[in-house]
Amino acid sequence: MYLPSDGAPDAKRIHEELNKLTLKDINATVNITFLSNDAYNLMLSSGEKFDLIFAANYMNYADNARRGAFKEITPELLNTYAPLSAKESKDKLAGGYVNGKMYALPTLSASFNYSTYVVRGDLMKKYNVPDIKSIDDFGVYLDAVAKNEKNMIPFNIGKNDAWMLCSLYFGNYNLMAPGLPNCTSPIAIQKDDPALKLQYTFDFPETEQFLKKMKQWKDNGYWSKNALSNTVGLNDSFKNGKNAAVLASIPGANNVYNEVSKSHPEWDVRIYPAFTQGSIDRYSYMAGGMALGAKSEHPERALMLLDLLRYNEAYNMLTQYGIEGTHYTLNDKGDIVFPADSKYPPNAAGTWGWTNETYTKVFDGSFPNYAALTEDAKKRYQPNPLVDFTIDAKEISDITTNLSNLFAQYAAPMYMGFIDDVDTGIQEYKDKIKQAGVDKYMETAQAQIKAYLNTK
């Protein structure tokens, strides 16, 4: 089994404990190796023999499946060797299908596309900043920091963080991109449009308004003039006291809160919803999953193992959290408690491919409004009919590559405010993507969306 991760100090110990279980239950052992992203891509392109590998839509799962990197999980294989997975709801399995065939078992945990602001309450109190209820309120907080904390960058984004700003835009203006809530797309759909008609992202008047706001934020010093070359992550900068805010998912915000509240309780870290209006998406269950290698010699045992990892509490808890009493304990409320020097910290060992919300624990010491924000996401959630849709770029691969490059070259700097004139910049970007074939891209996507919905 190959997992994309740097691993954890006690990962080998956990794998040894896992093999004691598998040898007894399915007469097999599993050898788990961690891979970097580059090694992962090389592995799939080289045609190397393996049995199991992590797969996800954001790691080009569908394209890799179409290229023959994975073995088909036929109904016969699934029913015989992974009977619990075979009985799973169609909704949770849908993301594993590519062109009508299953190549992976998606994770069993829903993840909402719901961002939060992580900010310092001590600074809010110090400069009399009101609670953050909108993106403009967030700007008021950043402005107070910019004007008063000269040794701090309010929102220290870096060269790869333009997506954070455009996700703020998409999340607050009820937009989605086909197949993923991916704001870097040159085409988008308004969620409340029953026809799901694609439009050009930069044709929306709201896009122009947002880009002008971001230019103002940049000019006001809310992030560094060197942001386009900055390689320091927001989280690290925040923990080091150099940055006053983080944009994160609810679980991501909780991780930051847990760590910073222990090291700097005086900061009074607070969490506010960043998507304050409109409906909430969830990501496809194929935001994580496990696929069989195309040349696997043990697909039967691999599926038997996956069924155990996904549905057996002992297997799931061991691999997700480690050994109870050593790597974690459970308090009276059933919340999970980790030692300060944990050698198997959560989310560190690449086990995202078989998470199961039935066994997922709330961390002890979660931020005070954790449950309230989670409930808000659930209440505002509206099913996205395109959540498992992926564009087959086989016939337009050159266009897709060019559009991605043009976003990085032209759109990303605009989202980060690095533009002298927004109107001129928008027109230049629109001209460039038109030359690159965006019309053909949208025409292809719209036709594939229609075909996809006809199968539902």
pLDDT digits (tens, 9 = 90+) for 120-164: 999 999 999 999 999 999 999 999 999 999 999 999 999 989 999
Share of the chain above pLDDT 90, in %: 83
Q: What is the pLDDT of residue 89?
A: 95
Q: What are phi and psi of 6, to 5 degrees?
A: -85, -10
Map out the domains of the chain as residue ranges. Answer: 2-110+283-380, 112-169+200-282
Average pLDDT (221-243) is: 94
Q: What is the pLDDT of residue 390?
A: 87
Residue 37 predicted with pLDDT over 90: no
What angle, rounded to 10 degrees, do the helices at 397-406 and 438-454 form? 120
CB 23 within 8 A of CB 54: no
Task: Quickly state the pLDDT bin for 23 (edges 50, 70, 90).
Answer: very high
Q: What is the pLDDT of residue 341?
A: 84
Q: What is the pLDDT of residue 425?
A: 98
Average pLDDT (283-302) is: 96
Task: Quickly state the pLDDT bin for 362 (edges 50, 70, 90).
Answer: confident
Specify which residues 4 forms β-bridges with: 35
Compare 180 and 305 and report the one with higher pLDDT: 305
Compare 37 and 205 and report the one with higher pLDDT: 205
Residue 414 predicted with pLDDT over 90: yes
DSSP string, 123-177: HHHHTTPPP--SHHHHHHHHHHHHHH-TT-BTT---TT-HHHHHHHHHHHTTEEB
Q: What is the pLDDT of residue 340?
A: 79
Q: What letter does residue 360 receive in the DSSP assignment?
A: P
Q: What is the pLDDT of residue 58?
A: 87
Q: What is the pLDDT of residue 70?
A: 97
Report the Cα–Cα distance between both ends of the chain, in Å, rounded.
33
Distance between CA atoms of residues 431 and 421, nearest Å: 16
Residue 180 predicted with pLDDT over 80: no
Residue positions counted in the chain: 456
Question: Six-digit token pair at 280?
Answer: 């909430």
Average pLDDT (245-270) is: 93
Please list, residue by residue across 79-100, b when 16 or more beta carbons sit within 10 angstroms of its beta carbon and e when fewer do.
eebbeebbebeeebbbbbbbee
- Common-topology check for domains 2-110+283-380 and 112-169+200-282: yes
Q: What is the pLDDT of residue 205?
A: 96
Specify which residues 52 forms β-bridges with: 292
Give the CA dihedral 33, 363, 262, 319, nearest 10 degrees.
-20
Residue 179 predicted with pLDDT over 80: no
CATH number of 2-110+283-380: 3.40.190.10
Residue 152: CB atoms within 10 A of its CB come to: 16
Q: Which CATH number fits domain 112-169+200-282: 3.30.2020.30, 1.10.540.10, 3.50.40.10, 3.40.190.10?
A: 3.40.190.10
Compare 341 and 197 and report the one with higher pLDDT: 197
Task: Quickly state the pLDDT bin for 67 (edges 50, 70, 90).
Answer: very high
438-447 pLDDT, tens digit per residue, is 999 999 999 9
Q: What is the pLDDT of residue 363?
A: 87
Average pLDDT (388-401) is: 90
Query: Could you tell me which of 40, 35, 43, 38 has the C-alpha nearest to residue 6?
Result: 35
Average pLDDT, the chain: 94
Q: What are phi and psi of 285, to 5 degrees?
A: -60, -20
Q: What's this model's pTM, rounded to 2 decimal places?
A: 0.86
Residue 41 predicted with pLDDT over 90: no
